[in-house]
Structure 1
């Protein structure tokens, strides 16, 4: 090996753990010096041996870089044993004792690249988990919005609780089906659930059209309210429109489906309180005189009829057909004048 004084080379650099050093003659690319780390990664070059195949593929790029900037940097993969290593090369030109030389500094960055891959993998996992959490959040929000009005949900999401609110003027619709118990006894539960799901889904769409909130279903009972949580001056006409459309939907459905359904509907008006009930299983519920009235009057409705108190006549008379049916003793409410409500033929579709 060409004898070059090594005093000009930093001894600490030569002895640095994990750093490989090689000095190559620029004119013929023969090795003049290399340390143990270089030999471990690239093999031990023989005396005066030229750059071998491990770096030959970089030769053209390196020589072009030397001519332009005097430096060349690259990363190469070597496999001295069974494990593939990533080596960072930093090569530059210098003059040593009048000879143009290439100094090659090599550093094993395998661990760093592995850590980068681990970080990238972890970042991808975090992104996937974040997307999954966002989907779960949307699913939970959608579920909660099915359990409570949007305004109530926003309050619950912001404060964690819902303050009970008294609404002095609302209208409530209560519906149940005639002969539901007999139907459940005659048919498989999956049939019953399928039928109710189909019908209640249609009811929900009708309610949405008129700004009416479905509060809950219990078995075959369907309860909806207008005028809360947001006040609505036309709450009485809104629930009446829903009631009429519910019955029309059932009539048309009965013409084409195997199973036929008949419903009774009671309407009530007055004050009501709305709030979230429960700590672990949240349920938005509505209580008060308007709810009690609708539940009581539903019992007085004949199949496929709508019963409402005469006190709602002023609000409904212009848009509906009204027929007084007399005074009745209503449990908890005393004597009350009732009427049947039907839709105008001009509104039928």
Structure 2
């Protein structure tokens, strides 16, 4: 009985780290887990001015606030059936379209981003705070897999991931910046404002757009 309980606990922990499909693969497969996905949409979100904020708030309170924000984002990811990949400091990374492919990946990630903005505004109002997030989105192919022997993680690689990260880091505070590929997927259902060509580190000039909302029916 104790062994069964220990196994159940172990499985629950594994599912907190990996998508269910990947966790099952890991239990039965001893080779490297890596899959190519033709088209997904990747999101990076970052708290603007986090370094300055962290110097004025006690460490424990800072972690509590971050945990509250990321817990809200996790719930949104669950609602939109989006896969959270990881948090890196004050940054949050998620993807739509894997491990189970879906044709509406760009729309799903766009709704997620807009809901994240609303959630941060509500969070600030309820606590009299002024957190601001900057979001970047990119669409295209990726490779996804599990790396590491200890503390392993499900992660993504490829130009689409790099572009999403650049869309965020070269974006504007409080805005959602998307690349041309994402724009093409979203333009019929969402309000997008052309930001124009901007210089992207390692990419040269790229046409970018700001996601503003949903087109009313």
Q: TM-score, normalised by structure 2?
A: 0.94
Shift of 1:217: 0.3
Contact 1:216 1:222 in 2 (8 A): yes
Once residues 338 and 252 of structure 1 are traced to their aligned partners in structure 2, the CA distance between those partners, rounded to angstroms, is 28
SS of structure 2 residue aligned to 1:187: coil
Shift of 1:203: 0.6
Q: Which residue of 2 aligns with 1:285?
A: 155
Cα 1:260–1:139 shift into 2, 3 Å: farther
Q: Which residue of 2 aligns with 1:341?
A: 211
Once residues 161 and 246 of structure 1 are traced to their aligned partners in structure 2, the CA distance between those partners, rounded to angstroms, is 37
- Cα offsets for 1:139-161 (capped at 9, x unmatched): 22222222221111110012244
Is residue 2:67 matched to residue 1:228?
Answer: no
Shift of 1:294: 0.5
Contact 1:155 1:162 in 2 (8 A): no
Once residues 176 and 147 of structure 1 are traced to their aligned partners in structure 2, the CA distance between those partners, rounded to angstroms, is 21
Query: Equivalences for 1:13-52 in 2 at 5 Å?
Result: none
Q: Which residue of 2 aligns with 1:309?
A: 179
Contact 2:43 2:95 in 1 (8 A): yes
- 1 or 2 for the larger relative contact order (CA 8 Å, sep ≥6)? 2
Instruction: Note the aligned Cα RMSD (angstroms).
Output: 1.7
Structure 2 residues not aligned, in runs of 5+: none
Q: Which residue of 2 aligns with 1:142?
A: 12
Cα 1:134–1:192 shift into 2, 3 Å: farther
- Cα offsets for 1:155-180 (capped at 9, x unmatched): 00122444211112111000110111
Is residue 2:188 matched to residue 1:318?
Answer: yes
Q: Which residue of 1 aligns with 2:48?
A: 178
Residue number among 17, 22, 35 corresponding to 1:152 in the alignment: 22
Q: Which residue of 2 aligns with 1:271?
A: 141
